[in-house]
Amino acid sequence: MAPALAIAGPNRTVVEAMELPRLIEIEPGLVGAAFDLMKLLPARYILDRAEEQGLVDPSTQIVETTSGTFGLGLAMVCRLRGYQLTLVGDPAIDARLARRLRDLGATVSIVRGAALEEGVQQARLARVERLKSRHDNYFVPNQYDNRDNAAAYGVVAELLAGTLAGIDCLVGTVGSGGSTCGTTQFLRTLYPELHLVGVDTPGSVVFGALNGPRLLRGLGSSLVPHNVDHRLFDEIHWVDAATAFFMTRHLYRRHCLFLGPTSGAAFLVAQWWHERHPNANVVVLLPDQGYRYADSVYRDTWLAKNEALASRVPREPISISHPHEASGSWTRISWGRRSRDEVVGIAATS
Ligand SMILES: Cc1ncc(COP(=O)(O)O)c(C=O)c1O
């Protein structure tokens, strides 16, 4: 008789198969939690909770604003469950991604031109409001403010805690705040001293830098999401696009990890922190794969055209005393688990 190979059985869906990260020891003591598509997890979890609460049924129109990855996660879950989905994005959604979303049955509505003058996020939210008014039965997952986004990461904390001998520091990029804050809330029940390092970019107001244009997307925002619990963070870094792109390429060339640019930004900071704390166990969240960026971040001509082709990156960040000073390649501040008002309202110590 042939030995039984499948004990647990196959994953029931591609979402289940892909939603958890692979844990990779990039250097001794520095573990990357590498997701194929991090946003699959909150997309699946938010719809599970909405179904449980009777907020969605097969006739519900789902409407969400997204710059890409959350939209792709939602589109996959909605396709498999038969929900109608409209995604409101901005020109950061490239034609190729828009085609993938449409192939999955989603309607993609891109906000362009004068509507963007008030700010990208504001313009997208205004379009969502208009779309909602056209439907009696709609559901907005609202990844920025829906607590279930952060709650989805309980399983990631469980995976990390169950696999690693100990965790001293978590480094992750911050957009909605779901991944860093959600994972940390759970991990701190085991490791109250866990040091949380958030990675943002100049031009994003999430941690109080001045609002401005941002070439590095996925992390940062022109609004402050409710899912960012500022009091969880010990330290914040701002990494600009050219620096993040350089490190993204480095991760591939040096470590064979073909990932997106927010992973490059997070890895830069994680590696620096780990160098300063060589005995600490550090985990870095690496949100997505590199394929979407093959014609941009992975192409020198695109980088040069966008003035984001760096030949090297700084060895360390410049410490600043107030978030308004966040500019240039790489800056950092000791956040000290304070509220945003406490840090932005007064001059912080670094
Ligand atoms: C590629 C990428 N990296 C990082 C983030 C930030 O993750 P979070 O929204 O959990 O803060 C996002 C958010 O959309 C993203 O799309």
- pLDDT, one tens digit per residue, over 75-134 is 999 999 999 999 999 887 888 999 999 999 999 999 987 777 777 778 888 899 988 888
pLDDT in tens, 20-78: 999 999 999 999 999 999 999 999 999 999 999 999 998 999 999 887 899 999 999 99
Q: What is the pLDDT of residue 2?
A: 55
The residue whose CA has the least distance to atom 13 of ligand 1 is: 218
pTM reported for the whole predicted model: 0.94
Distance CA 246, CA 298 (A): 9
Q: 180: pLDDT confidence band, cut at 50, 70 and 90?
A: very high
Report helix, strand and coil shares of the chain as percent, to nearest 5. 40, 15, 45
Distance CA 179, CA 197 (A): 12
Nearest to 90 by CA among 75, 108, 69: 108
Report, as an integer, the average pLDDT of 168-197. Answer: 98
Q: What is the pLDDT of residue 224?
A: 95
CA of 180 to the centre of ligand 1 (A): 9
| Mean pLDDT, the chain, integer | 93
- Cβ–ligand 1 distance for 90 under 6 Å, the answer no
Here the tokens at position 294 are 């093959």
What is the percent of the chain with per-residue pLDDT over 70, rounded to a whole number? Answer: 97
CA of 174 to the centre of ligand 1 (A): 6
- Ligand 1 atom closest to the CA of 227, numbered from 1: 11
- Cβ–ligand 1 distance for 262 under 6 Å, the answer yes
- Which H/E stretch holds residue 128? helix 120-132
